[in-house]
Amino acid sequence: MFILVITILGLFSSCSSKEDMKIGFLYSSDVTHRFVVETNYFAERARELGAEVIVDHADNNAALQYQKAMEMKAQGINMLVLIYINEITANAIVRDFKADGIPVMAYNRLIPNSDLDMYIAGNNQSLGEGMAGYALSQVPRGNYMLFGGDKFDRNAVELQASIDSMLAPSVENGQIRILYRTFTENWDANNAAFELKQFLNNSQTHPDAIIACFDGMAHGMIDVLSEWDLDGKVVITGQDAQLESVRDLVAGKQHITMYHPFKEIAYTAAEVAVALLQGDKLDEFGVVYTNNGYKQVPTVQINSIVVTRENLDAILIDGGVYTRAEVYSN
């Protein structure tokens, strides 16, 4: 009887450990609208699959992010999903979690030189090709300015490399001229606007196209362009399909945004997280591998979609991202 009881308790404990899944999703800040939306979708799907989810953000404060990660660990999470702020702090988070046998999934931003278990990302190669390709289709000859993201974010570096590769033939044959290029700390709109204003104040040459690598930056620069009566006249790109930039598309002031399908990315990440916790195979997710300097990290990539004024209704409104009233009431 004692052996039977122990066997039953063992079976119950085994099932419980597989079913009791607690996931922490800790993101950088709520300034980036898509991160707010995607964490909600992640939690929704993970809960459908039987997991408990704790969601929090760190207000772009790296020290606070470490503190909140440790608080989540103390709450007994079985996995951490992290959109990191600072590489050094992120490495410390991964190190401390892995020391306790808790897997870490990097979301959107690959954490360099760390023992990650999984990386969920967009495809920076196709993202850069989409933005630069659109700009070239609209301005095959002219002056370009390039505003990349934060140089300490690998996404920004990879994205800029893709853009440079697309533009290289036109630069080499003299069809386009790069007036100015910069990375933008924290992908910040104010920083990008300041850089553009300084350039315009000190140059007699105006850009024909600006490849801005984030909608927030593009929106900030549109305000600057309006001071020179250039808004709508300079082709400007962005990414993330933020509402204010979608409205800029409608107004003809921004010309393209790269939409990362929020729900698809977040649902996929939740399904991968639960599969990892349950020890299931990941064959259906098309896993590739990304070198982060420490290891080849299993990676699932979701391609982005080009959105312009012509197709935004079909993609963003019919697709349920925004309502018609949200986009067109301004």
Q: Is the dihedral of CA 137, 319, 154, 294 positive or negative?
A: negative
Residue 330: its pLDDT value, please?
64
Question: Residues 37-64: what's their mean pLDDT?
Answer: 96
Mode of pairing for the β-strands spanning 288-291 and 257-259 = unpaired
The answer to whether the beta carbons of residues 174 and 167 sit under 8 Å apart is: no
Position 12 pLDDT exceeds 60:
no
Residues 219 and 271 in one domain: no
- Per the prediction, the chain carries an average pLDDT of 92
What residue has token string 């707010």?
Answer: 36
> Residue 19's pLDDT is what?
57
| Region for residue 126 given its phi and psi (left: phi exceeds 0; alpha: psi -120 to 50; beta: otherwise) | alpha
In a domain, 5, yes or no: no
Could you tell me the pLDDT band of residue 122, with boundaries at 50, 70 and 90? confident
- Gap between the Cα atoms of 156 and 201, Å rounded: 27
Domain count for the chain, please give it.
Answer: 2
State whether 106 and 184 are in the same domain: no
Can you give the pTM of this predicted structure?
A: 0.76
Based on the fold, state whether residues 98 and 162 are members of the same structural domain.
Answer: no
Q: Is residue 11 part of a domain?
A: no
Query: For residue 24, what is the domain's CATH number?
Result: 3.40.50.2300
| Residue 3 pLDDT grade (very low, low, confident, very high; cuts 50, 70, 90) | very low
pLDDT confidence tier of residue 31, bands split at 50, 70 and 90: confident
Residue 272 pLDDT > 90: yes
In a domain, 144, yes or no: yes
Per-residue pLDDT at 329: 81
- The strand pairing partners of 306, in sequence order, are 258
For the cut 70, the answer to whether the pLDDT of residue 68 exceeds it is yes
Q: What is the pLDDT of residue 153?
A: 86
User: Residue 1: its pLDDT value, please?
Assistant: 39
In a domain, 101, yes or no: yes
Statement: residue 280 has pLDDT above 50: yes
Query: Which amino acid type is present at position 118?
Result: M
Look at residue 191 and give its three-state secondary structure. helix
Q: Is position 65 within any domain?
A: yes
8 has pLDDT over 60:
no
The pLDDT, as a whole number, for residue 289 is 94
The confidence score (pLDDT) of residue 241 equals 93
pLDDT at 2: 42
| Position 127, amino acid | L
For residues 255 and 180, membership in a common domain is answered with: yes
Quote the CA–CA distance of 295 and 123 in Å, as a whole number.
19
What is the domain extent for residue 88? 17-116+261-302
Residue 248 lies in a domain: yes
Interval 259-272 mean pLDDT: 94
- What is the percentage of the chain residues whose pLDDT exceeds 90? 85
Any domain includes 6 = no
DSSP H helices, 49-188, are: 62-74, 87-99, 124-138, 154-172
| 1 inside domain | no
